[in-house]
Amino acid sequence: MVKRSKPLRGFINERDVGVELKMNKKLDDNDSLPTLDLQRSKGSMGALDDGCYNVVLENGVKLDGIEHEPETVAIKDAVKVLLQGLGEDVNREGIRKTPLRVAKALREGTRGYKQNVKDIVESALFPEVGVENGTGLAGGAGGLVLVRDIDLFSYCESCLLPFQVKCHVGYIPSGQRVVGLSKLSRVADVFAKRLQDPSKLADDICFGLHHGINPTGVAVVLKCSHIHSPNFQSAFLESNHKRLSSIIVGSGLGTFENPDSADWVDFFGLLRCRDITLDNIRSRNLFKDSWCPSRSQKLGPSVNPSMETAVALILRSLGQDPCKKELAGTPNRFVKWLLSFKDSNLEMKLNGFATIPLKTSGLINHKEHIIRSEVNLSLWSLCEHHLLPFYGLVHIGYISGEEINPIGKSLLQSIVHFHGFKLQVQERLTRQIAETVSPLLGEDIIVVVEANHTCMMSRGIEKLGSNTATIAVLGRFSNDHLARSQFLQTIPSYSL
Amino acid sequence: MVKRSKPLRGFINERDVGVELKMNKKLDDNDSLPTLDLQRSKGSMGALDDGCYNVVLENGVKLDGIEHEPETVAIKDAVKVLLQGLGEDVNREGIRKTPLRVAKALREGTRGYKQNVKDIVESALFPEVGVENGTGLAGGAGGLVLVRDIDLFSYCESCLLPFQVKCHVGYIPSGQRVVGLSKLSRVADVFAKRLQDPSKLADDICFGLHHGINPTGVAVVLKCSHIHSPNFQSAFLESNHKRLSSIIVGSGLGTFENPDSADWVDFFGLLRCRDITLDNIRSRNLFKDSWCPSRSQKLGPSVNPSMETAVALILRSLGQDPCKKELAGTPNRFVKWLLSFKDSNLEMKLNGFATIPLKTSGLINHKEHIIRSEVNLSLWSLCEHHLLPFYGLVHIGYISGEEINPIGKSLLQSIVHFHGFKLQVQERLTRQIAETVSPLLGEDIIVVVEANHTCMMSRGIEKLGSNTATIAVLGRFSNDHLARSQFLQTIPSYSL
């Protein structure tokens, strides 16, 4: 094991701009890295040990043929247990292949365990002269190289949900050589494709590059965004529920080990206009333990032991030890989160609501019937094809002489949550909302759902910025495109 | 061959908001699709014929082991000819592996020729009920489903440079079924990973989905952005040279064939806040032929027949017929563009410049020496590892009592272009600029280069939003981080 130093680490939680700064100290050679069991190799590997794996491909790891591998089959079976725990018929057409999809996504999303940083980097170290000794810092000898705004995603080790990462990586070349720029991104991705928490991810990338390039210094700053995970009750209580919890972390090695190093000044100087400064990273408080929203709740008693066992089995099939500290509560958290989408949890809640007349009675009958709308209702749901969350906004339009009364809006929100908190597809959700509100709001209904799908971000296609809009129309809205258009114009612009 | 209809097609060129709208007509069964030769299969395939290829992978095509395939070897050899034509030593360490990198990137970037749309889509058609007959449109029977903001890149068939695509795809479900949302993105990517032009890309995606899903209607709107390709002369003449040329195109089938269809109103209604409207698509002028900047120049006589032959060979190794109409001028355009980065073209131009004193003489000597800067100098260059452009801004700082005279700025721009218009790496470029300006501006020099690398966008990693900043310092800037910081703060924020 080469000598390593423990990276500088800082945290900022946007909720409180709280922060930590750990000073670095050199570790002894005997300070070992955490080891991870990887079932397949039947051995243990340090996250950065070299030579354990030679599966290094230029364009993402080769994962074809994994369908029949025992790990994939084991995860598939475990996901079936989860679906059954949710009260689902695992042979229902929409979810019949969900276990396979989930298994493949998880294995692909953790492919970084099988990738070898050093090989990636070493093939792309290029000789590059610096300036004459003592005259300056540039080229292959000094002078910061910073790749900004690398989009990644990773899986949260605390709850198994994917989180987004905006990654900034810098290093100071030494030894008259530079590394191919794309390798900074590739190495970052190797560590993102593991079960992670933000500061560990920053440290891993930092150490990986330090070890691979052997530069004067290397620094990593990440902004990580984790989806919130309300349940029906909390989502309903907090109508403006934050969709994402963000944290900024940093890690540095070599000349970046000292948080007062002038190299950090360069790093943040070149990182301008991204609301990230050295002062942020230098603040004090530590929100490490609450960055994942599910960690803010205490671990409860096992709600469903067979489901938790299934999640532990998934972790093991991913080569991880479910008993290790970081993962000890993960099955409990994941199952608790998953069960918040159990259909039957909510069946009762809407009972009685549907017959309440929504329109304020006694209003003027001669008033012209116009298009009314209730926009920006919060949505949380679970994609039944991938068991991953999707979230966004619902807009409802109707034609009436009367506006709904104030209680009406919260009822509509309740209907959205009622249909949201279960295994869904967006198209069905949109239709169901339309059909449910029709008895309350009349036969002329338009529903628009705008949502971000985590499955679009975290699987092979990785289309981070994409989002989906669906529309359902009843009655007059089916034929009257001017009415539709008029309603669509009332939807406020909003970045999902 | 199934009956197909010719898609609606519209163009908007942002330079002039010019547009075209072709009305659709049903084609006869005899109207054939353009066929493409794919060398490997020794057969011809329509872009959408089924069954020719079964290489359908969930996460991108399998391309490992391609290094030794004859097509890859042929492209490698051709790229060596190109490098030699540029006067390069193909055994120089920095570019020794460039032929292989280019070959792999091109083959990966055109992998869509081997992917089969129908298989991708059919595996993800899910039963989904609609609403009761006649009461509305929703779920698996009507009601637009729109996936917005899918980021793609493609290769321009006119010049072989990659272009960026922001893709919006919508369809109206029919037959009580919906398609998995990610498949819309995957199918779009199948056609993006070919040699394309924007309107053909929109048509291909549209037809592929129509054929695969058989929906009531399908529509595609793309905003495509193509890098400009100035040479040393034109870049210097137009100091504010536009970096990207953009065009918006649309294509529709089924109910979207009629440009006056109400479904388009829904489409654009849901696409709000993206500066794209039905009126745009409806405008008249046509910029199809000039969207690729290299097409605005007439095809010249062959400047280097052996290089052009090499490019034709590359096209053939990608399975394309270099003689077909769309590709006939491509070798000429590509070689002309490539030769604009030939080092020796420019060696003469800087001669004599370096001895011109830049500082206005006779200024007050007692004036305090302060940090001066010249920011936002344009940069165009060519990544020597991938033969792909990178472009951005250069900022130069120096310490002096005097500002440079007005001629000085254009000289600095000239120096940037001098070092830019050749095979480069950003780290070297930054150092070279610093070293070249030092005799003119004094021993205290700082140079910052901010650049977008096409190779980061168009290769396996596809980090579309990332960009790279490098820094070189001489003299006092090497030790004085406050001076560095002070200079960095003078750089205006700018989105590359």
pLDDT above 90: residue B455: no
CA neighbor of B212 nearest in space, from B112, B110, B123: B123
What angle is formed at CA B477 by the lines to CA A26 and CA A146, rounded to 5 degrees? 55
Mean pLDDT for A232-261 is 81
Residue B362 pLDDT: 42
Mean pLDDT within A23-49: 33
Average pLDDT, integer, range B416-423? 93
Radius of gyration from C-alpha coordinates of chain B:
26
A contact test, residue of B57, B182, B425, B494 with most A CBs within 10 A: B182
Interval B139-196: pLDDT, tens: 999 899 999 999 999 999 999 999 999 999 999 999 999 999 999 999 999 999 999 9
Instruction: Tell me: pLDDT of B319 over 50.
Output: yes
Nearest chain A residue to B188 by CA: give it: A461
- Residues from chain B that touch A174, judged by Cβ atoms under 8 A, are none
B411, pLDDT greater than 70: yes
Q: Which of residues 41-70 of B touch A (CB under 8 A)?
A: 57-60, 62-64
Amino acid present at B175: G
Is there a contact between A137 and B478 if contact means CB atoms under 8 Å apart?
Answer: yes
**Least confident range of A284-293, B115-124, B330-339:** A284-293
Residue B119's pLDDT band, with cuts at 50, 70 and 90, is confident
Query: Sorting pLDDT into bands at 50, 70 and 90, what band is B480?
Result: very high
Instruction: Give per-residue burial for A282-320: e unless 16+ CB within 10 Å, then b.
Output: bbeebbbebbbbbbeeeeeeeebeebbbbbbbbbbbbbb
Pick A406 or B415 by higher pLDDT: B415
The predicted model gives A243-248 an average pLDDT of 84
Report the pLDDT averaged over residues A41-62: 31
Q: Is B489 on the interface with A (CB under 8 A)?
A: yes
CA distance A471 to B464: 30
pLDDT of residue B378: 92
Question: What's the whole-number average pLDDT of chain B?
Answer: 80
Instruction: Let me know if A63 is exposed, middle or buried by CB neighbors in 10 A (0-12, 13-18, 19+).
Output: buried
Q: Specify the pLDDT at position B232.
A: 73
Residue of A nearest to B455 (CA): A182
Residue A421 pLDDT exceeds 90: yes
Distance CA B198, CA B225 (A): 9
Q: What is the pLDDT of residue B87?
A: 93
**Chain A neighbors of B266, CB-CB under 8 A:** 471, 481, 484-485, 488
Distance from CA of A331 to the nearest CA of B (A): 27
Residues of B in contact with A475 (CB under 8 A): 135-136
**Per-residue pLDDT tens over the stretch B354-392:** 445 555 444 434 346 789 999 999 999 999 999 999 999
Instruction: Please list every residue in chain A whose beta carbon sits closer than 8 Å to the beta carbon of residue B388.
Output: none
Nearest to A108 among B59, B140, B464 (CB): B59
Which chain A residues have a beta carbon less than 8 Å from that of B62?
62, 64
- Higher-confidence residue of B173 and B25: namely B173
- For residue A266 the two structure tokens come to 């360069």
Domains in chain B (CATH in brackets) are 9-56+115-296 (3.30.1130.10), 346-490 (3.30.1130.10)
Calpha distance B80→B71 (Å, rounded) = 14
The residue type at A67:
E
Which residues of chain B have a CB within 8 Å of the CB of A273? 493
User: CA of A88, closest CA in chain B: separation in Å?
Assistant: 16
Q: Which residues in chain A have their CB less than 8 angstroms from residue B135's CB?
A: 443, 474-475, 478
Q: Which of residues 245-284 of A touch B (CB under 8 A)?
A: 262, 265-266, 269-270, 272-273
- pLDDT mean across residues, chain A: 80
- Cβ separation B145–A108 shorter than 8 A: no
Distance CA B460, CA A189 (A): 12
- Residue A93 pLDDT > 70: yes
Dihedral of CA atoms A213, A218, A219, A222 in degrees, nearest 10, equals 0
A59:B460 CB<8 A: yes
Q: Residue A473 is nearest to which of B57, B137, B474, comparing CB atoms?
A: B137
> Tokens standing for A466?
């994409």
- Flag whether pLDDT at A431 surpasses 80: yes
Using one digit for the tens of pLDDT, what is the confidence trace for A108-120? 999 999 998 888 8
| Structure confidence at residue A291 as a pLDDT band (50, 70, 90) | confident
Q: Which of the residue ranges A276-280, A386-390, B130-134, B322-326 would you say has the lowest mean pLDDT?
A: A276-280
Higher pLDDT, A29 or B222: B222
Q: CB–CB of A372/A400 below 8 Å?
A: yes
**B175 has a chain A CB within 8 A of its CB:** no
pLDDT of residue B34: 32
Distance in angstroms (rounded) separating the CA atoms of residues B225 and B491: 26
Looking at residue B400, its pLDDT comes to: 83
Answer whether B439 touches A (CB < 8 Å).
no
Torsion of CA B447, B96, B196, A464, to 10 degrees: -60
Q: What is the pLDDT of residue B110?
A: 94
Residue of A58, A150, A482 to mutate, interface with B, max B Cβ within 10 Å: A58
A17-33 mean pLDDT: 34
Which chain A residues are within 8 Å of B126, Cβ to Cβ? 93-94, 385, 425
| Structure confidence at residue A19 as a pLDDT band (50, 70, 90) | very low
Provide the CB-side half-sphere exposure for B97 (13 A, CA). Answer: 11
What pLDDT, on the 0 to 100 scale, is given for residue B215?
96
Please state the rounded mean pLDDT for residues B453-471: 78
Residue B8 pLDDT > 70: no
Comparison of pLDDT for B314 and B269, the residue scoring more: B314
A61 contact residues in B (CB cutoff 8 A):
none
Share of chain A above pLDDT 90, in %: 54
**Do B219 and B203 meet the contact criterion of CB atoms below 8 Å apart?**
no
pLDDT of amino acid B346: 54
Segment A399-418, tens digit of pLDDT = 987 767 766 888 899 899 99
CA B457 to chain A, closest CA, distance in angstroms equals 10
Inform me whether the C-beta atom of residue A133 falls under 8 Å from chain B C-beta atoms. Answer: no
Nearest to A389 by CA among A349, A340, A316, A330: A340
Closest CA to B282 of B264, B295, B270, B301: B264
Distances from the Cα of A436 to the Cαs of A355, A442, A460, B302, in angstroms?
11, 10, 35, 69
Amino acid at A336: K
Structure tokens at B181: 């949302």
Residue written as token pair 């949260």: A156
User: Which of B143, B178, B460 shows the shortest C-beta gap to A60?
Assistant: B460
Is residue A235 very low, low, confident or very high in pLDDT (cuts 50, 70, 90)? confident
Task: Give B-chain residues touching A427 at CB under 8 angstroms.
Answer: 128, 138-140, 143, 145, 173, 178
What residues 462-481 of chain B have any CB closer than 8 A to a CB of chain A? 462-475, 477-478, 481
pLDDT tens profile A328-355: 999 999 999 999 898 755 554 555 454 4
**B243 near B231, Cβ under 8 Å?**
no
User: Is the pLDDT confidence value at B97 over 70?
Assistant: yes
Burial class (CB in 10 A: 0-12, 13-18, 19+), A241: middle
Among B143, B181, B478, beta carbon nearest to A472:
B143
The token pair at A482 is: 């001017």
What pLDDT is stored for residue B207 in this prediction?
96
pLDDT computed for residue B297 by the predictor: 76
Q: How far apart are CA A309 and CA A319, in angstroms?
A: 15
Predicted confidence band of residue B16 (pLDDT cuts 50, 70, 90)? very low
B280 pLDDT band (50/70/90 cuts)? low
Tell me how long chain B is.
496
Residue B123 DSSP one-character state: T
Over residues A189-202, mean pLDDT: 94
Distance (Å) from the C-alpha of residue B67 to the closest C-alpha of chain A? 11
- Looking at the predicted structure, is the pLDDT value of residue A51 above 50? no
* Residue of B15, B8, B22 whose CA lies nearest to B284: B22
Distance of residue B178 Cα from the nearest chain A Cα, in angstroms: 8
Q: Taking the CA of residue B325 as centre, how many other CA atoms within 13 Å lie in the half-sphere pointing to its CB? A: 4
Asked if B59 lies within 8 A of A459 by C-beta distance, the reply is yes
Give the Cα separation of B249 and B157 in Å (integer).
Answer: 16
Asked if the model's pLDDT at residue A486 lies above 80, the reply is: yes
Q: Which residue of B has its CA nearest to A134?
A: B475
CA distance B411 to chain A (A): 22
Provide the pLDDT for residue B380.
93
The tokens describing B401, both together, are: 């009592």
Q: CB under 8 Å to B390, separation ≥6 — which residues?
A: B379, B381, B382, B383, B424, B426, B451, B452, B453, B454, B455, B468
pTM (two decimals): 0.84
User: What is the pLDDT confidence band of residue A265, given thresholds at 50, 70 and 90?
Assistant: confident
Percentage above 90 pLDDT, chain B: 54
pLDDT above 70 covers what percent of chain B? 74
The structure tokens listed for B91 are 């055994």
Handedness of CA B370, B376, B378, B383 (dihedral sign): positive
Contact partners, residue A37, CB within 8 Å, separation at least 6: A44, A319, A320, A321
User: Which band of pLDDT confidence, cut at 50, 70 and 90, is reported for residue A205?
Assistant: very high
